[in-house]
Amino acid sequence: MGKSTSSAPKPDPQIGQAAVMQAQTGQQWLDFAKDAFSVSQDRQADLDALTKEVTEKQLGLAENQQQYTQDMTNKQLDLAQQQQDLQKQVTDQQLEQAQWQEGVAKQDRARYEQEFQPVEDQFVQEASNYDTPEKQAEAAAEAKADVQTNAAAQKQASERAAASMGVNPASGRFAGIDRAADLGTALASAGAENNARQQVRDKGLALKADVANLGRGLPAQSAQAAAAGLAASNSAVAGSNAAAGLGINTGNSAIANMGNAANLGITANGLGLSGAQAANQQYIASTGIVNAGYGGAMSGYAGEANTLNQQYQNELAGWQAQQQVNSQNAAGIGSFLGGALGLIFGSSKKVKTDKKKLPDGAALQAVGKMPVEEWTYKPGVEDGGSHVGPYAEDFAAATGKGDGKHIAVQDAIGITMAAVQDLDRKVDRLADIVQLDKKRPKPAARKPESTKARKVETLGIAA
């Protein structure tokens, strides 16, 4: 038990030094945070001014675009009004043209009914009756008569010619010539009759065709004139619509171009503002990295202090356990010796034989298995008083000593002392683990640094 001590171990001075370093680092962190906040305020003021400027430009572009759109819309409305006026004018002209054409058509119809229709009816009647069989027969008769008349005159001329040449008209030769002439006359008469009939039929068909076409021209001419007038008006309206539509489309294109230009300006200003904001975010992110470094340093110092403090708590717990063991051992031995009623027995090595060492930990293990309770002897047994100790049955089962009814004083003292030795060795091993009673060298003292120097060193900038 030589490693035990009556005074508690002193804490490691590095615990306090780690706590001081943690406080100093916290102060450096606070100073850096103040400086970074001041710089951020200045940068934010510049960024706010830039944001306001960009916003005013964007609003100006939007107002210009709105005004331009309003102007172009007014022009488009003027064009639409002009188109509407022109279309109304043309529509009025079309109505006048239609009314005039209606009057002309009525006049033409009245004239047609009064003058041409009676003539057409008469002409139709005559044309329809022109090629009747009677008319054809009459024409054929007239043609035959004409042929026969011509043939008779020719015959007389032939007879005169023959008489002048000395030919007798009553001769057979002259009769043959006369029959040939009669045959030619008959053939010519038949042909003339057929031609006359065909001419009558052809003329009748031609007259009917003329009758069919006679009344078609006048209404067609009137309709064509009205259609031409309406087409001209429609063309004028279409031209006006095309011109107005072109003006409106041109205005729309101008509005779209103005809108695109304004949007490009707004986008460009927005990109500039976004770039400034991104730069400010990068600055804020850089300060975050330094803050993380300060946080890591403080965590390191706190971890060192906690580790050293935990080690000291282990040392203190070991010392307290040692003190408790010593107290319990002293109380147990005193109680046991007091219960033995001052019995004296021989303890010299000279009177003992068959000596054997107990295995390490066996006695402590045996004591740990035995229940130790407070109890009272029954009346008439021993001193009849109250005591603290194990039972003979448990003692015999754990140690193999005794008859299960009595505990020999020598065995009780020996097992208790061997258990104390086992416990002492166990405490020594625990003390070695927690470095009980060992002194640690103090760290070298650090020179105080200025706040500015600490900032420069922390940020990694050469002073």
pLDDT digits (tens, 9 = 90+) for 123-146: 777 777 777 788 788 788 888 788
Q: What number of other Cβ atoms are within 10 A of residue 170's Cβ?
A: 7
Say whether both 412 and 295 belong to one domain.
no
Residue 348 lies in a domain: no
Say whether both 274 and 372 belong to one domain.
no
H or E element, residue 389? strand 386-389
Strand partners, 373: 389
Q: What number of other Cβ atoms are within 10 A of residue 160's Cβ?
A: 11
Which residues, 6 or more positions from 51, have their beta carbon under 8 angstroms from its beta carbon? 273
Distances (CA, A) of 182 to 152, 177, 187, 189: 9, 9, 9, 10
H or E element, residue 387? strand 386-389
Say whether both 247 and 201 belong to one domain.
yes
**How many structural domains does the chain have?**
2
The DSSP code sequence of 83-139 is HHHHHHHHHHHHHHHHHHHHHHHHHHHHHIIIIIHHHHHHHHHHHHHHT-HHHHHHH
The DSSP code sequence of 292-319 is HHHHHHHHHHHHHHHHHHHHHHHHHHHH
83-87, 408-412, 440-444: least confidently modelled range: 440-444
Q: What number of other Cβ atoms are within 10 A of residue 448's Cβ?
A: 8
Say whether both 251 and 363 belong to one domain.
no
SS3 361: coil
H or E element, residue 373? strand 373-376
Residue 228 lies in a domain: yes
Q: What is the reported pLDDT for 392?
A: 94
Q: What number of other Cβ atoms are within 10 A of residue 402's Cβ?
A: 16
pLDDT of 379 strictly over 70? yes
Round to whole Å and give the CA distance between 427 and 327.
Answer: 14
Sign of torsion, CA 129 134 137 143?
negative
The distance between the two most distant Cα atoms of the chain, rounded to a whole number of Å, is 229
Confidence of residue 461 (pLDDT cuts 50, 70, 90): very low
Residue 242 lies in a domain: yes
Residue 461 lies in a domain: no
Residue 440 lies in a domain: no
Q: What is the reported pLDDT for 35?
A: 85
101-105, 187-191, 316-320, 344-348: least confidently modelled range: 344-348
Q: What is the reported pLDDT for 386?
A: 93
Q: What is the reported pLDDT for 439?
A: 47
Contact 247, 79 (CB under 8 A): yes
Strand partners, 386: 376
SS3 388: strand
The tokens for 78 are 């003027």
Which residue range forms the structural domain that includes residue 422?
317-342+356-433
Say whether both 127 and 272 belong to one domain.
yes
Round to whole Å and give the CA distance between 385 and 411.
Answer: 22
Residue 309 lies in a domain: no
Round to whole Å and give the CA distance between 20 and 25.
Answer: 9
Round to whole Å and give the CA distance between 442 and 432.
Answer: 20
Say whether both 164 and 282 belong to one domain.
yes
Say whether both 78 and 47 belong to one domain.
yes
Say whether both 230 and 104 belong to one domain.
yes
Q: Which residue has the higher pLDDT, 157 or 456?
A: 157
